[in-house]
Structure 1
Amino acid sequence: MEDFERKVSLADDSMETDGVTKSSNSSQTLLLLRRFLQIQQRRAQAYATLKRGFTEYLASGGELAYQKLCTEITTEFNDCSKQVREIEALFLDPDCSRSDLAQLLRAVQTQEKLKLQLTATIQLLKKAGRPSERLVSHANCSFPKPMEHQCVHVHEITESDGTEEAEANAEYDNALNEAIRGVQDAVTSINEHIEEVKYEIAAIEVE
């Protein structure tokens, strides 16, 4: 009889321990997911700052200020990525054992990397401008007299020139539109993954 009671007692202790462990794991998972959402908010703010800074750069041409901003934003994105990787590693840890959430965060990281690369491409293209609208340099022109300018860019426009320019513009437009669509697709994918994170948080909170 005593032996039976001891076994029942041990079983009860084991169930209680399992319950505490499960509760502890859920709490940790909840904290990590909330931390991830905070990091995503930081990323969103960084993109807003970058967009605003680039708009100001196009208007004013402040190259140094723009380069400084790009350096700061790059540092911010790198820090965000580092923190997400740390969370991903914790989800893979046996104490947490949530490989599904680790894969979810890795998918977000992949899309965030693509989004950043394409955003840089868009800014480079817009910085350069359409071929037909780019300013020409007169550094190689000659100035025989103070008020006389012999421009090397002045020449008879042929049909071939017009075709080349049209093709260059079309190539530029295609590259820009493709990058924009790529960013839009990445944002859609990221938002879908974030919704999954929110559903997971909601599910844990009602447990």
Structure 2
Amino acid sequence: MEVCEGDDDLMKKVEAISVDDRSKSTKVIDLLRRFLGIQQRRAEAYAKLRSGFSQYMAGGGEIAYQHLCGEITGEFNECSKQVIEMESFLLRPDLCRGDLAELLKAVQAQEKQKLQLTVRIQILKKAGRPSERPVSHDSCHFSKPEEHVHECMHVHELTEVAGTEDAEADAEYDSALKEAICGVQDAVTTINEHLEEVRYEIEALESEE
């Protein structure tokens, strides 16, 4: 069968388009895999933060904990920076995947919410329930210095009103802690759903190559 010159040119154009499509898919797959790698870094950072906080609550030093918080903050900032760059790449004319850029952006929003609530949980746990917090002895005086017996000036007879105030404060604390924990759980669920979408997209693109 004779192939005319016009048909030959058309075949070359089709082949060129096919190569461009494969190149585009490869770039998108690479970006999405890198994104999943960043999510793994975030997961490892959270594990390190939880471990450090547990050690702090068990009697670890304040300085060591603050140093860890600074380190984790830097790690999260770097992860966010890289994801924002990926969003920009996906929006470029040669890739034109605004849908995936929006997906990554949605994960970013949930990660921000998750981090803020995680910090809130740790602050609440550090403070403890109001009724269980240690009291300051700055206003105490010794009634018998030689026997090291002191009287707490701030300790008062427990009345019904005081008991009610403590109960209300504890209820507010418990509610705030529960709300933050539920918020983290919701964020994690949403993030995992988005990550499944990313994995599905990778599989779909790989099947087309």
TM tier, smaller: over 0.9
Please report how far the alpha carbon of residue 158 of structure 1 lies from its aligned counterpart in structure 2 after TM superposition: 1.1
The 2-side partners of 1:117 and 1:62 are apart by 23
- Which residue does the alignment assign to 1:168? 169
Can you give the 5+ residue segments of structure 1 that lack an aligned partner in the other structure? none
Percentage of identical aligned residues: 62
Q: In 1, distance between residues paired with 2:6 and 2:14?
A: 12
Confirm or deny: 8 A CA contact 2:139 2:154 kept in the other structure: no
How many residues end up aligned between the 2 structures? 204
1:144 Cα deviation after fit: 4.8
State the SS of the aligned residue for 1:168: helix
C-alpha separation in 1, matches of 2:102 and 2:149: 67
Q: Distance in 2 between matches of 1:175 and 1:32?
A: 38
The residue correspondences of 1:100-111 to structure 2 (distance < 5 A) are 100-111=99-110
**For residue 139 of structure 1, what is the aligned residue in structure 2?**
138
The letter for the 2-side match of 1:63 is E
Partner residue of 1:91?
90
Question: How far did 1:107 drift?
Answer: 0.3
Q: Distance in 2 between the 1:10 and 1:99 partners?
A: 32
Runs of at least 5 residues in structure 2 that lack an aligned partner in the other structure: none
C-alpha distance in structure 2 between counterparts of 1:92 and 1:65, whole Å: 41
Aligned to 1:20: 19
Please state how far the C-alpha of 1:150 moved relative to its aligned partner.
2.1
- 1:177 aligns with 178
Q: Return the TM-score normalized by structure 1.
A: 0.95
Counterpart AA for 1:113: K
Name the Cα RMSD after superposition. 1.2
Moved over 3 A (4+): none
Separation (CA, whole Å) in 1 of partners of 2:32 and 2:102: 13
Distance, in Å, in 1 between the alignment partners of 2:149 and 2:53 is 37
* TM-score, normalization by structure 2: 0.95
Match of 1:154 in 2: 155
SS of equivalent to 2:116: helix
Partner of 1:206: 207
| Range 143-152 or range 62-71, more displaced | 143-152
In 2: Cα distance, 1:64 partner to 1:140 partner: 28
Q: Kindly indicate whether residue 62 of structure 2 is the aligned counterpart of residue 68 of structure 1.
A: no
Amino acid at match of 1:120: V
User: Which amino acid is 1:173 matched to?
Assistant: D
Structure 2: distance between partners of 1:189 and 1:92: 23
What SS class does the counterpart of residue 182 from structure 1 fall into?
helix
Deviation of 1:145 after TM superposition, in Å, equals: 4.2
1-structure distance, mates of 2:168, 2:202: 51
